[in-house]
Amino acid sequence: MARRLRASALLVYTILVFVFLFAPIALVVLFSFNKTASLTFPFHGFSLRWYRAVLESPSYRDAIFASLRVAVISVVVVVVVGTAAGIGVTRYAFRGSRIVRVFLFFPAALPGLFVGIALLSFFVQTQVSLSLWTVTAGHLIYVLPYFFLVVTSRLQRFDYMLEEAARDLGAGPWATFRRVTLPLIAPSLIAGALVVFSLSWDEVFITFFTIGAQNTLPLVIYSTVKQSVDPSVNAISTLLLAGSLVFVFSVRRLAADLQQ
Amino acid sequence: MTGDGRSYLCVDSVTKLFDGTAAVQDFELEIAAGEFVSLLGPSGCGKTTLLRIVAGLEFPDTGRILLDGRDITATPAHKRPVNMVFQRVTLFPHLNVFDNIAFGLRLRRTSAAETRTRVGDALDLVRLPGFAERAVRTLSGGQAQRVALARAIVNRPKVLLFDEPLSALDLQIRRELQQELKDIHRELQGTFVYVTHDQEEAMSMSDRVVVMRGGVIVQVGDPVELYRSPTSLFVASFVGSPNVWPGTVAAVEDRRVVVAVGDRRLEASPPTAPVRPGDRVALVLRSEVLTLSDGVPDDAAPSLCAVEGTVADVRFVGAVVSYRIDLGDRRLTVSRSSQTEILAEGTRVTVAWNPRDALLLSADEERTP
């Protein structure tokens, strides 16, 4: 009797935790399809009008493109720089390689707020005008450690004898990289790139301090919510959520492939 | 020692230092076209370093490497007409067997048709026909090394290098592949340089064996020469003589040398380098030159080339029977054909030998490797 009571208490507790975790998310998704502008129950029926509103609004569209631009440039730069750094640090035992490694990881330990303020005062002092480029620079500092972590963990397991075998078979440095190293580390580069993209895509703190005239998507959402109760925020948030889910799923798939 | 045909691959006074220690020192070796040469020695003797220098994966601090009349000392690995089979499996895991073998051909822009033919021929040569589409991870250890061999051979290198390619395999597969490697060598008439620490492997496959120690050559010779007339204690014990007795030269006569081993006085053939009474030496008695006879003659005078003992252990290894004979103060290993009568443990026996077969080596050189 007491055992059954305890079991059902545990069940109720578990359900409550999940409700607490997922109810807000479910509400946002639900009300993004609401027919009317109300943000509270009752629900008035399904419609896609808020999605249309998002896609037709120039400020949202510009913000999506701005966010995409920042994220894509961050990914490209970080993949090149982070891969080179990862190979350098894991393969060559040069003087100070440990210090380089620590400094490459370090920005991940800093609060975003601190990085944002530091960058702002740096840009002000060096008289660099704030723009999406300064945002991109800030994102690079913030995302590089994460990419570096993903790539070095793969490179540490990389069998450099394979590169010797390739050289022995007639492959020069570039051919060795392109035909042996790159195909073998590609899954972790893609996983790292996805992580970087999603970090940059919804970054707020650093962006807030380093942004110029243009806005990124998270900042537009924030200011929209601050100004008025606009249900289109629900729609754009749901879009963000869907995007993130796709990313998380892809990374998990890749991680499974990597373990084979 | 070096004949005229012996300079296809020439290692000319090569020295390689790692952190100030010489891994290979003033190394001189000439290898003829079509020769199968093994570099034999314990781990750390510099044999792998030497192989990697020939491959172009390491560069010597001094000295030169000449191949077919060309100085290739500064040529990087990918431009040398030399291929290697590594100790560990180094097949590319993202490519299947065909693409692994075709790797070198594609870098040389060989036509698709020729690539297909040559990869097929290489697979036939290593006895893996029909394996072209297999994934690398489905191969057994022995199969993987065969594919690695095919991947090297398909490029028709001037010299094929082997860095202990069989050391990770089971004994039976190792023996099988040793035989096949020898057959492949005969078939291709290629120049093979083979690194190993397994003396049996080196002796059974090679035309010539280079015994190395501490980065220098201890002795070079064909397997029979090394086995029958090792010039040093190191070689004698490394190529598998179980019976090595330290002693002192007691008397030097015209055609024989008498050695004091413990209380015994034994006879041996004079070594190439002259010895004087009082010199510290080692008497080497190979297990198969010893003869066993049942029983001990009561009246025999103490012989200079026979000892008495008891059979302590009998080990039947198929074609031969290996006896351990307890002599009281020391032991002897004697092997004889299993066609002969098998002696029981505890039998009193006389072990005799022809003084010609008893080798005498200087024990002093042991201290200066």
Residue of B nearest to A173 (CA): B78
Position A123: which residue type?
F
B326-342 pLDDT tens trace: 888 888 899 888 888 88
* Rounded Cα distance, B289 and B357, in Å: 7
- In a mutational test of the B interface, the residue from A169, A189, A260 whose CB has the highest number of chain B CBs within 10 Å is A169
pLDDT at B369 over 50: no
Q: Test B88 with A184 for CB contact under 8 angstroms.
A: no
* Rounded Cα distance, B138 and A12, in Å: 50
Selecting from B82, B86, B155 the residue whose C-beta is nearest the C-beta of A165 gives B86
Give yes or no for a contact between B234 and B41, defined as CB atoms under 8 angstroms apart.
no
Higher pLDDT, A110 or B91: B91
Model confidence at B5, pLDDT cuts 50, 70, 90, reads low
Model confidence at B36, pLDDT cuts 50, 70, 90, reads very high
Kindly report the backbone phi and psi dihedral angles of residue A251, in degrees, each rounded to the nearest multiple of 5, phi listed first: -65, -40
Share of chain B above pLDDT 70, in %: 95
Q: What is the reported pLDDT for B6?
A: 67
Q: What is the mean pLDDT of residues B104-131?
A: 92
Selecting from B94, B104, B152 the residue whose C-beta is nearest the C-beta of A183 gives B94
For chains A and B, what is the number of CB pairs under 8 angstroms? 61
Closest approach of chain A CAs to the CA of B198, in angstroms?
Answer: 23
- Angle at which helix B97-107 crosses helix B112-125, to 10 degrees, equals 130
Q: What is the reported pLDDT for B368?
A: 42
| ∠ CA A34-A40-A41, rounded to 5° | 80
What integer best gives the mean pLDDT of chain B? 88
| Half-sphere exposure in the Cβ direction for B24 (13 Å, CA) | 28
* Nearest Cα residue to A77 out of A24, A120, A138: A138
Q: What is the mean pLDDT of residues B107-115?
A: 92
Q: What is the reported pLDDT for B51?
A: 94
Given the DSSP bridges, would you call strands B243-252 and B9-18 parallel, antiparallel or unpaired? Answer: unpaired
Give yes or no for a contact between B228 and B316, defined as CB atoms under 8 angstroms apart.
no
| ∠ CA B52-B54-B59, rounded to 5° | 70
* Rounded Cα distance, A105 and A110, in Å: 10
Instruction: Collect all residues from A whose CB is shorter than 8 A from any CB in B.
Output: 159, 161-162, 164-172, 175-176, 179-180, 183-184
Selecting from B55, B91, B92 the residue whose C-beta is nearest the C-beta of A168 gives B55
pLDDT at B1 over 50: no
pLDDT at B2 over 70: no
Closest approach of chain A CAs to the CA of B107, in angstroms?
Answer: 7
Give yes or no for a contact between A134 and A128, defined as CB atoms under 8 angstroms apart.
yes
Q: What is the mean pLDDT of residues B137-159?
A: 93
B217-258 pLDDT tens trace: 999 999 998 888 888 888 888 887 778 888 888 888 877 888
Mention every residue, 6+ apart, whose C-beta is less than 8 A from residue B290. Answer: B243, B332, B334, B351, B352, B353
Its pTM stands at 0.80
| Half-sphere exposure in the Cβ direction for A126 (13 Å, CA) | 8
Model confidence at B28, pLDDT cuts 50, 70, 90, reads very high
Residues of A in contact with B57 (CB under 8 A): 164, 167-168
pLDDT tens, chain A, 260 aa long: 678 888 888 999 999 999 888 888 888 888 777 777 666 676 677 777 788 877 888 888 888 888 889 999 999 999 999 999 999 888 887 888 888 888 888 888 888 888 889 989 998 888 888 888 888 888 998 899 999 998 998 898 888 899 999 999 999 999 999 999 999 998 889 888 988 988 888 888 888 888 877 888 888 888 877 777 677 788 888 888 887 788 778 777 776 665 54
Share of chain B above pLDDT 90, in %: 49
Model confidence at B157, pLDDT cuts 50, 70, 90, reads very high
Mention every residue, 6+ apart, whose C-beta is less than 8 A from residue A138. Answer: A115, A116, A119, A206, A207, A209, A210
pLDDT at B367 over 60: no
Q: Which helix (H) or strand (E) holds B84?
A: strand B82-85
Selecting from A159, A161, A175 the residue whose C-beta is nearest the C-beta of B107 gives A175
B273-314 pLDDT tens trace: 778 888 888 888 888 888 888 877 766 666 788 888 899 999
Q: Which two tokens stand for residue A196?
A: 């970087």
Closest approach of chain B CAs to the CA of A168, in angstroms?
Answer: 5
Instruction: Collect all residues from B whose CB is shorter than 8 A from any CB in A.
Output: 55-57, 76-79, 82-84, 86, 88, 90-94, 103-104, 107-108, 151-152, 155
Q: What is the reported pLDDT for B146?
A: 93
